[in-house]
Amino acid sequence: MTKRRKFFAIAGLALAVGGAAVFSIYRARRGVVAVEAAPVARKDLTSIVTASGEIRPKNYTNVLAEGFGKITEILVHEGQWVRQGDVLLRVESTQPAADVAAQRAALSSAEAAVRAAEASYRSATAEVNQQKANLDKARFDWEQGQKLYSAQLIALQEYQARKAAFEAAQAALSAAQARMQQTRAQLAQARAVLDQTRAQLTRVQDVLRKTTYRAPISGMVTYIAVRVGENVVPGIQNAQGSYLMTISDMSVVTAEVRVDETDITSIRTGQPAEVTIDALPGQTFSGHVTEVGTQAIVRSTGLATTQTTTSTEQAKDFKVVITLDQPPANLRPGLTVTAKIQTAHRSHVLAVPIQALVVRTRGELRQAEHGTSSGTVSLAAATQPDADAGQQVQGVFVIRNGRAVFVPVQTGIMGITDIEVTGGLQEGDWIVVGSYRVLRTLRPGASVRVQKQTSTPTS
């Protein structure tokens, strides 16, 4: 045999052997699912709720118009620090000042009338006392005259004169008492007019006071909505000219965020939080939850559910207030923030990646028990459906003897990428963690081949 024929014979034999090997490997791997696997390990888990909102001072006030008028002077500017009682702006006060002056004059007149009525009443009282004394004297004379006349010691004319004097004294006393009652009524009327005048003076003084606006709290003037020459309008919250300015006490700064209704039950006061501010990139500020809202807010409208007259299926949020522990000095109300609230923490607990957690029905699990699975397609014969066949079971796929065994698990808190397992697994178990497509279609009992091993970071 020539060298050339020997070469071709050896090459053909090699190809035949290689082809047989490849074919054997192909048949062995047919129906085996390639998966990603990771071991169950102990980790530190922190459950986080993320929400967005804005910076707000804990104490602030909106200065609103209290009367009609034209602004004549604004004495502050945005960013200025003011103390409680400092003058902020003034409104035209010509008419209110004139009303106060007129009412003060009326008050002086009413006070003079009261003094005159009091003098008249004192005079009438003195006259009554005098007439009482005169009546007592006339009564004594009349009683003595009766005795003397009975004893024939005085004439009839004198007797009748004493009787007339007594009756005249009685009439004089009645007249004096009537005048005293009249002056008493005049005094009460004068005092009522005085009280009314004082009340009117208080009213016009209040109107005049409302032409000068003072700071209700100490803080920074964070916004001024009006200008000199504009008119102010009271009583209408959203009307132009009703809202004048905002004063904010930035000594205590909070982040007011909206938490989704599905997360609000895990939020408690005192929980720590980390706040990032869009205007200050790269910086994180610590804080703690100080207020948790109890009224749902419709996300699309921003109104509380009690403010709507119809029920709605729209998404709802709850207000949560986070107080910053050490706020920077350059914060401004309204800055956009993102808060991460730590709702729970577990140390050294069994954990698996969140994506490894899958759900299967009891019907699928029973099929796996009575048959075999090949790849992602079950080859088991259909069994009689049970009443709970559609009930879902939560678990993971554990790799045992080259097969994916579905193991139900109980879970605890959820971290960023991992979830706590409180029952069903042991440390060191290898579980299927990917890919997503495989986890979505993988059948219990399917043959698997570990294509990639991963190790998840601590959450």
Sequence spans of domains, the chain: 33-48+349-453, 51-60+253-347, 95-209
CATH 3.40.50.300 correct for 33-48+349-453:
no
pLDDT of residue 6: 55
Q: Give me the residues of the chain with pLDDT under 50, please.
A: 17, 20-29, 372-383, 457-459
pLDDT of residue 302: 79
CATH 1.10.10.10 correct for 51-60+253-347:
no
pLDDT of residue 458: 40
Q: What is the pLDDT of residues 394-435, one digit of tens each?
A: 999 999 998 999 999 999 988 888 999 999 999 999 999 988
Closest alpha carbon to 340 in 61, 129, 46: 46
Sequence-distant (6+) residues with CB within 8 A of 91 are 67, 69, 70, 71, 72, 210, 211, 212, 213, 232
Predicted TM-score of the model (pTM): 0.64
pLDDT of residue 371: 60
**Same fold for the domain at 33-48+349-453 and the one at 51-60+253-347?**
no
Kindly give the pairing relationship between strand 358-361 and strand 336-353.
unpaired
Return the SS3 of 413: strand
Cα separation, 402 vs 103, whole angstroms = 101
- The CATH code for residues 95-209 is 1.10.287.620
Q: What is the pLDDT of residues 242-289, one digit of tens each?
A: 899 999 998 889 999 999 999 999 999 999 999 999 999 999 999 999
pLDDT of residue 301: 82
Q: Assign residue 69 a region: left if phi > 0, alpha if psi is -120 to 50, beta otherwise?
A: left
Q: What angle do CA 345, 346, 350 make, to 5 degrees?
A: 145
Cα separation, 203 vs 162, whole angstroms = 62
Answer positive or negative: Cα dihedral of 421, 274, 60, 241: negative
Task: Decide if 375 contacts 452 (C-beta within 8 A).
Answer: no
Cα separation, 277 vs 219, whole angstroms = 22
